[in-house]
Amino acid sequence: MDLFDFENGREGYYGEYGGTFLPEILHTTIEQLKTEFRKAKQDPAFWQEFVSLMQSYSGRPTPVSPLPNLSAKLGGAQIYIKREDLNHTGSHKINNVMGQGLLVKRMGKSRVIAETGAGQHGYATATMAARFGFESKIYMGAVDVARQRPNVFWMENMGSEVVPVTDGQQTLKDAINECLRDWVTNMDNTHYVLGTACGPHPFPEMVSWFQSIIGHEAREQILTAAGKLPDRIYACVGGGSNAIGIFQGFMEDTEVELIGCEAGGFGPGQGNHAARLAYKDASVGVAQGMKTYFLQNDDGNMLETHSVAAGLDYIGVNPILVNLWEKNRVRFEAVTDQEVTEALKLSMRLEGVIPALESAHGFAQAIKEATQMQPNEVILINMSGRGDKDIFTIADALDDQHWKQFISEKAAGYRGGES
Amino acid sequence: MSLQHYLADCHEQLGDKNRRAMLMTHVVCGYPSFEDNWQALEVMQEFGVELVELQFPFSEPSADGPLFVKANQSAIDAGVHVADCFAFMRKVSNHFSFKVIMMGYYNTVFKTGSDSFLKQLKEAGGEAFILPDLPVDEAGELHSAAAQYGLDPILLMTPTNTDERLQQLANAARGFIYTVARKGVTGSSTDMNQDLAEFIKRCRQHTDLPLAVGFGVSKKSDIDFIGEHADIAVIGTAALQAWEQGGAVKLREFFTQLTQS
Ligand SMILES: Cc1ncc(COP(=O)(O)O)c(C=O)c1O
C-alpha cells in the first residue's frame, strides 16, 4: 500500500485527513517546499546522501536488541526493541531533522526555526544548524522549558536561541503557533523544520519519508534477529512521527499488527490526557495547518492536555495514522502516567535500558499485552529515544532521595557562589 | 443591498466625511468584555466607520500578533462561546449603521458545521466572513454555500503571491478584498511606501472589487496613503491599544487624530 499515492485533486489528503491550511502569505513558500521535496524524493541520489549522512553522523543503522530478561519475566512473547535512542542527540528526531537540513541547503535558505516539546526535536535542530552553519531559533512552551531543562542547556550551547512561549497552555501546540508567526514574517530566508508528522502538507509526508528509515532497517533486522516478522509492533504517538516511521517498514505485511500508544495521562476525561484516538474525547477539526482529530470543545477551541511525557502532550495527531486507524490497519491504545513509570522501572532494572518517557508508553502497552501472548510470538517496540533528558521528571516520579539531596546541595552551592 | 454596493455608496459619501478612505475597524468579541466592545463600537460609530470585523475568539490564533493573541485567550478564559458572539453580532447589527463582518479561524466554522454557521451568521446580520487560515483551494464548498445565503467570503491578497495566484484569488472573491500590507502577523506598524503602492497596483490589475489595506494602520497619513491607492483602511491593533490605555476617551482621541486634518 502506497500511503502517498494521492487521488487526483487530493494531494496531501489521507482519506478525509490532512490538507494544507495556512495563511495566504505562506502559499508561495509552501508551494516551493512541495516542489523541492518532490524533486528530492524522486532523486535516488538524495536518499543516498541522507542515508550516508545518518551513518557517518548519527550512528545508523541503529540496532534491534532483544530483551530476554523482560521477556522471560513476563513469560509471553519475545520482546525486541529498535534502538532509536542510540542516535546522536538521543532520539529518532534527528532522522527528520538531518533530512530537512539537506533540503534547506538545496533551497538556499540560511535560517531554521523549530518547535519542540520534549526538547528532543529542538536539540536535534540545534545540532543540525550548528553542523550546517544555519542560524536557528527554537520555540518551546514555557512549561516544557521547565520540565526539560537539560535539552535547553544543550540547544543554547550549540548556538540556538531558545524562546520560551508563554501563550496558551505553554506547551507544544503553542510553540507551533509561534513558529507559524515567525515563518509568516521571515519565510524568505527561513525554513520551518516541523518536528513531527503533523501540520500542513507536505510536512506529514516529508517527515514520514525521512522517518521511514527506521522501518526499513527494522524489518531486515528483526527477520535476522527473530527469524520471523514481528506479530505486533508498538510505538508511542505524540504527533506520530516515530510510529509512522517504523510502521512504514511493515505496511505490506498485513499479518503484522501495528499499535500506536498515546498518552493516557491521568486516564479518560477531558483535560486529563492527550489520547486523541484511544479515548473518546477528540473530534475532527482544522488547526495547526491540518485536518485531523483534535482534543477540542464544541466551539472548536482546544482543550487542556496532560501527559508526564512532554513529547506526547499534544492536541492533534498525524493524519496518516488517523486514516490507517479508520481502516483498521493501526490499533490505538492509551497508557497512563502511572503505567509508564512502572514500565520504565522494569526496563531499567531488568535490561539496563532507559527509554524516554515518551517511548516508555510503547513499552508499557507491550508489557501489558506480552503476558497474553505465546513464547513463539514476537514483539517489536520502537524505543524512540533515551530517558536521560527526563532525569528530573523521573527522579520526581521515583521520589529518588539521593538525587534530591544532590540537587539541594548543588543549588546551595550556586546560592553560596552568588552571595 | 450587496456589500459591494454598500461600499460603492459609502465611497460616494467620503467627501462629506472629509476622509480619503473608508474605515474597517475590529473588535475581539468579549475582550475585555462585551460591555467594553459595545462602548468601543459606539465610538467607532461616532467617527462613521463603514465596516466592523467582529473576531470570534479561537484558542490557536496563529495569524495574530501578541495583543490579539492575548485578547483571544482572555475572551475564551472568560467563557465567551460561539453562541455569545452570534448573539452579540445580532445586537450590533440591529443597532449600528456600519456593516458587520465575522472574522476568525476556520475551525470555528468547521466545528459548528458550515451550514449551521452560515445560517447563524446570516440571522445575526453579518455580511461576510474573513478566515485567514482557510486557503481558497480548500474553500470551494463553503463559498458556494455562502453564496446561497448572500454572504461574501473576504479573501486576502498578499505581497508574496504570484500574479497567477492573485488572479485565482480575485476569481473567488466577493464583497471586497483584504490586501495584506506586509509579511508578519497583526500588530506592528507598516511603512506606507512605494513597495506597498506597487503591490496594491498589482492587486488592482486583477479585480474591480474595493481593496482594503490592513496590518499596522495607525496614523492619519496612513489613511491618506490608503485613500490614494486603495479604498478601505483596516484599523486593528492600534485601536485596541488605545482602548487598553484609556477606554472610550483614548479611543476617541485615537480616532480624532486618525480622521482630522
Ligand atoms: C523520544 C521521543 N519519542 C517520541 C516523541 C513523540 O513524537 P512523535 O510522535 O512525532 O514520534 C518525542 C517528541 O518529542 C520524543 O522526544
Of all residues in chain B, what percent carry a pLDDT higher than 90? 88
Q: Domain limits at A242?
A: 61-90+213-397
Q: Give the number of other Cβ atoms within 10 Å of residue A45's Cβ.
A: 8
Specify whether A236 is located in the same domain as A359: yes
| Ligand 1, pocket residues at CB < 6 Å | A 91, 93, 117-118, 120-121, 196, 236-243, 311-312, 356, 358-359, 384-385
Across the interface, of B73, B105, B112, the residue whose CB is closest to A167 is B73
* pLDDT for B37: 98
Q: Where are the alpha helices (DSSP H) in A188-317?
A: 203-226, 241-247
The verdict on A44 and A66 lying in the same domain is: no
Catalytic residue (one of B53, B127, B152, B231): B53
State the closest ligand 1 atom to the C-alpha of A386, by its place in the atom list counted from 1: 1
- In which element (H, E) is residue A333 found? strand A330-336
Going from the Cα of A404 to the center of ligand 1, the distance in angstroms, rounded, reads 27
> What's the ipTM?
0.95
Per-residue pLDDT at B213: 96
Q: Which atom of ligand 1 is nearest to the CA of A385?
A: 1
Question: What pLDDT does residue A297 have?
Answer: 98
Of A326, A50, A95, the closest CA to residue A215 belongs to A95
Give residue B218's identity as a one-letter amino acid code. Answer: S
Label residue B237 exposed, middle or buried (CB < 10 Å: 0-12, 13-18, 19+). buried
Q: Give the mean pLDDT of chain A.
A: 96
A384 is catalytic: yes
Q: Which atom of ligand 1 is nearest to the CA of A237?
A: 9
Q: Measured between alpha carbons, how far is A144 from A171 in angstroms, rounded to an integer?
A: 6
In a domain? residue A414:
no
At residue B191, does pLDDT exceed 90?
A: no
A136 part of a folded domain? yes
Residue B117, pLDDT > 70, answer: yes
| Predicted pLDDT at A417 | 66
| pLDDT band of B92, cuts 50, 70, 90 | very high
The mean pLDDT of B43-69, rounded to a whole number, is 95
**Per-residue pLDDT, A418:** 57
If residue A238 lies in a helix (H) or strand (E), which one and from where to where?
none
- What is the number of the ligand 1 atom nearest to the C-alpha of A243? 11
Residue A288 and residue A351 in one domain: yes
A83 and A41 belong to one structural domain: no
Same domain? For A381 and A232 the reply is yes
- Residue A405 located in a structural domain: no
Which chain A residues contact residue B162 at CB under 8 A? 28
**pLDDT at position B186:** 74
* Nearest by Cα to A303 from A325, A275, A322: A275
- A-B CB pairs within 8 A amount to 111
Residue A409, in any domain of the structure: no
Q: Clarify whether residues A97 and A85 are in a common domain.
A: no
Domain-located, residue A404: no
Q: How far is B80 from chain A (nearest CA, A)?
A: 10
The full set of domain ranges for chain B reads 3-256
Q: Distance from A321 to chain B by nearest Cα, in Å?
A: 21
Q: What's the order of all strands across the beta sheet hosting A13-14? A: A13-14, A17-18, A290-294, A283-287
Confidence of residue B185 (pLDDT cuts 50, 70, 90): confident
B contacts of A29 (beta carbons < 8 Å): 160
Do A261 and A176 share a domain, yes or no? Answer: no
- For domain B3-256, the question of CATH label 3.20.20.70 is answered with yes
Q: Using CB atoms and an 8 Å cut-off, which of residues 89-118 of chain B contact chain A?
A: 105-108, 110-112
Given B111, B169, B183, which is nearest A296 (Cβ)? B111
The pLDDT of B117-139, averaged and rounded, is 98
Residues of A in contact with B155 (CB under 8 A): 24
Binned average pLDDT, 10 residues per bin, chain A of 419 residues: 92 98 96 98 98 98 98 98 98 98 97 95 98 98 91 96 94 93 95 98 98 98 98 98 98 98 97 98 98 98 95 97 98 98 97 97 98 98 94 90 95 80
**Inter-residue contact A21 to B133 (CB < 8 Å):** yes
Q: What is the pLDDT of residues B1-54, one digit of tens each?
A: 899 999 999 999 999 988 999 999 999 999 999 999 999 999 999 999 999 999
Say whether both A158 and A49 belong to one domain.
yes
Identify whether residues A150 and A288 lie together within a single domain. Answer: no
Contact assignment for A288 to B105 by CB distance below 8 Å = no
Give the whole-angstrom CA distance, residue A128 versus residue A133.
Answer: 8
Q: Which CATH number belongs to the domain containing residue A316 in this structure?
A: 3.40.50.1100
**Is A93 a residue of the active site?**
yes
Q: How far is the CA of A332 from the CAs of A176, A212, A278, A324, in angstroms?
A: 24, 20, 5, 10
Query: Is A157 a domain residue?
Result: yes
**pLDDT score at A1:** 76
B window 144-203, beta carbon within 8 A of A: 155-162, 165, 169, 180, 183-185
Backbone phi and psi for residue B101, each to the nearest 5 degrees, phi listed first: -125, 135
Contact present, A116 and A241 (Cβ < 8 Å): no
> Residue A255 corresponds to which cell in the numbers above?
499479518
Shortest distance between the Cα of A228 and any Cα of chain B, in A, equals 45
Residue B236 has a pLDDT of: 94
Chain A residues touching residue B130 (CB < 8 angstroms): none
Closest C-alpha to A386, from A348, A350, A365, A357: A357
Q: What is the DSSP letter of A230?
A: -
Indicate the top mutation candidate among A127, A242, A322, A340 to test ligand 1's pocket, ranked by most ligand atoms within 8 A of CB: A242
Residue B47: φ, ψ to 5°? -90, 5
Distance CA B253, CA B201 (A): 32
Same domain, yes or no: A158 and A44? yes
Pocket test for ligand 1, best of A127, A312, A353 (most atoms within 8 A of CB): A312
**Which of the residues B64, B127, B152, B231 is marked catalytic?**
B64
Quote the pLDDT of residue B261. 65
Nearest to B206 by CA among B170, B162, B155: B170
- A312 and A233 share one domain: yes
Do A50 and A101 lie in one domain? The reply is yes
- Using one digit for the tens of pLDDT, what is the confidence trace for A197-221? 999 999 999 999 999 999 999 999 9
What is the predicted pLDDT for the residue at B1? 82
**How many distinct structural domains can be found in chain A?**
2
pLDDT tens, B149-180?
999 999 999 999 999 999 999 999 999 999 99
Tens digit of each residue's pLDDT (9 = 90 or more) over A281-308: 999 999 999 999 999 999 999 999 999 9
